[in-house]
Chains A and B, each alone.
Chain A
Amino acid sequence: MTAKREYDTPGIILAAIFILLAGIFLNESRNLTDSDSYVFPVAICTAMIVFSIIFIVWNLLKPHPDREATLVPGSTPRRVGLVALMMISALIMPYVGFLPAGIGVFAALMVLAMYEPWTWKRAANYALICVAIVTGFYVIFDIVFLVPLPEIPF
């Protein structure tokens, strides 16, 4: 309808990344000597490259903008913060133990996900909830289901 040609640019870029990824895997396949090990992955890589090329060519010939993808409401720092905090908790847990790392990161996540103003009462309540939930997880997993969670090392 519109005069301007709209491409699904992110889609094309991602398809190119997938081609690259398949290429890396294909290259690594050359180290394998047993055909049982490489036949299937090579077939998958080939299929992935073929689909990605068709996708790119198809989109360049006849632009198909992905309208769904253009909308991004919300706060990007909070998004990044969530992933970063989860990652931090996974990385420090083996060194400081599940409970300390858990309570710290849980509290930080609460602050991150909070959209209402903090009051002293709310802060006190949330601190209690934070300790209760992390301890609750600890009891369920470590004590009831015998999952050896990282212990406090001292």
Chain B
Amino acid sequence: MKTFGKIILTAAAAAVAATFVLTTTAAAEFPEKAINYIIAFKPGGESDVTARFQQPFFKKKFGKDLVMSYKDGGGGAVAWAQLNTITGDGYTIMGTNLPHMVIQPLQKDVGYTTDGIVNVYMFHYTPDAIVVTDKSPYKTLKDLIDFAKKNPGKVTFSGSAKGSSNHLAQVTFDRLAGIKTAYVAFAGTAPSSTALLGGQVVASWGYTTVPPAYPGTRMLAVAMEKRHPNFPDVPTFKELGFDMVSGAYRGIAVPKSTPEDIRKKLAKMIDEINHEPAFIKQMEDNGFAMLNAPYGPELDKFMAKAKKDITTSAKEAGMVK
């Protein structure tokens, strides 16, 4: 009997200890396995590249892999519409993009709503910029505006698809500068910049990421609050008297069923990477601009403002009624 009781006791103690160990490690060591990172676009696009920048830092800091998979379709809408059907255990995260996520649900029923997506962090943006080739006769923004004023409708801008931040910026800028230009939409920054380099268009509404990626291009102005650290010589639109700050914002979202503490943990992890000097340098060298909007009031405030601004300019651009 004595031995039996002892066995029971030891077993119980062991079980308690085991559960204790298990729960504490589970609590302390999220993530325990690789995290699946879904990109809502094709491999090789800008959303993929920025996720790739995060990948090695994540592995180094947290010891687990970020595993990319691609759920391309409907300009991101297919992936976002499925996000909330995935099990929310923190091991599936998804890249999100503005202004897409605001405009699409306003256009039609696309299977998700802007507020239904749980973003845990908005981590960078690509500011809009007017880009010309090195050989272009327009040295400053003023040169281009003067030409456009004399020749209404003759200035052609290439840019990303309609409803992209490039397109909204073109509409806003036309109004602010009192000019009329033609917008030629392409299926992304790569074909749009190719058209610029090939002289198919006069200029391009691109991003600050264009000049580092496409040698032979330069920017006339950037839509940022302050000048981009990598391009100290390029003025902001604000300095030149046009009040516009805009761009394509990228973040990370989780399924709605993800527990509150995991959401916060993920936000903290992305925040750590976002403050890594080597990561910041890599992003800025490639023309990206950093943004720190972690889960909580900061993100809510950011999203509320973004939603309002994007809705206003999308209406102006005729993208939504």
Residues of A in contact with B (beta carbons under 8 Å apart): 33-34, 36, 146-148
Task: Report whether A34 and B67 are in contact in the complex, using a CB–CB cutoff of 8 Å.
Answer: no
Distance to closest chain B CB from A151 (angstroms): 9
The yes or no answer to B36 lying at the interface (CB within 8 A) is yes
Task: Report whether B67 and A146 are in contact in the complex, using a CB–CB cutoff of 8 Å.
Answer: yes
The yes or no answer to B162 lying at the interface (CB within 8 A) is yes
The yes or no answer to B185 lying at the interface (CB within 8 A) is yes
Task: Report whether A34 and B36 are in contact in the complex, using a CB–CB cutoff of 8 Å.
Answer: no
Q: Which label, helix, strand, loop or mixed, suits the secondary structure of the A interface?
A: loop
State in angstroms the CA–CA spacing of A147 and B67 once bound together.
10
Q: Tell me the count of chain B residues lying within 8 A, CB to CB, of chain A.
A: 7
Residues of B in contact with A (beta carbons under 8 Å apart): 36, 67-69, 162, 185, 318
Distance to closest chain B CB from A36 (angstroms): 7
Task: Report whether A36 and B162 are in contact in the complex, using a CB–CB cutoff of 8 Å.
Answer: yes
Shortest Cβ distance from A145 into B: residue:
B69
Task: Report whether A148 and B162 are in contact in the complex, using a CB–CB cutoff of 8 Å.
Answer: no
State in angstroms the CA–CA spacing of A147 and B43 once bound together.
13
Q: Which residues of A contact B162 (CB under 8 A)?
A: 34, 36
State in angstroms the CA–CA spacing of A36 and B69 once bound together.
32
- 11 of the cross-chain contacts (CB-CB < 8 Å) are A33-B318, A34-B162, A34-B318, A36-B162, A36-B185, A146-B67, A146-B68, A146-B69, A147-B69, A148-B36, A148-B69
Q: Which residues of B contact A146 (CB under 8 A)?
A: 67-69
Distance to closest chain A CB from B67 (angstroms): 6
Q: Which residues of B contact A148 (CB under 8 A)?
A: 36, 69
Q: Which residues of B contact A147 (CB under 8 A)?
A: 69
Q: Which residues of B contact A36 (CB under 8 A)?
A: 162, 185
State in angstroms the CA–CA spacing of A34 and B185 once bound together.
12
Other A-B pairs beyond A34-B162, A36-B162, 9, CB < 8 Å:
A33-B318, A34-B318, A36-B185, A146-B67, A146-B68, A146-B69, A147-B69, A148-B36, A148-B69
Distance to closest chain A CB from B164 (angstroms): 14
Q: Which residues of A contact B185 (CB under 8 A)?
A: 36
Distance to closest chain A CB from B74 (angstroms): 14
State in angstroms the CA–CA spacing of A33 and B69 once bound together.
35
Distance to closest chain B CB from A12 (angstroms): 36
Shortest Cβ distance from A147 into B: residue:
B69
Shortest Cβ distance from A151 into B: residue:
B87
Give the 9 A-B residue pairs with the shortest CB-CB distance, closest first. Answer: A148-B69, A146-B67, A148-B36, A146-B69, A147-B69, A36-B185, A36-B162, A34-B162, A33-B318
Shortest Cβ distance from B69 into A: residue:
A148
Shortest Cβ distance from A31 into B: residue:
B108
State in angstroms the CA–CA spacing of A20 and B237 once bound together.
52
Shortest Cβ distance from A148 into B: residue:
B69
Distance to closest chain A CB from B309 (angstroms): 22
Q: Which residues of B contact A33 (CB under 8 A)?
A: 318
Shortest Cβ distance from B184 into A: residue:
A36
State in angstroms the CA–CA spacing of A36 and B187 once bound together.
13
Shortest Cβ distance from A33 into B: residue:
B318
State in angstroms the CA–CA spacing of A36 and B318 once bound together.
13
Shortest Cβ distance from B86 into A: residue:
A148
Distance to closest chain A CB from B186 (angstroms): 12
Distance to closest chain B CB from A138 (angstroms): 16
Q: Which residues of A contact B318 (CB under 8 A)?
A: 33-34
Q: Which residues of A contact B69 (CB under 8 A)?
A: 146-148
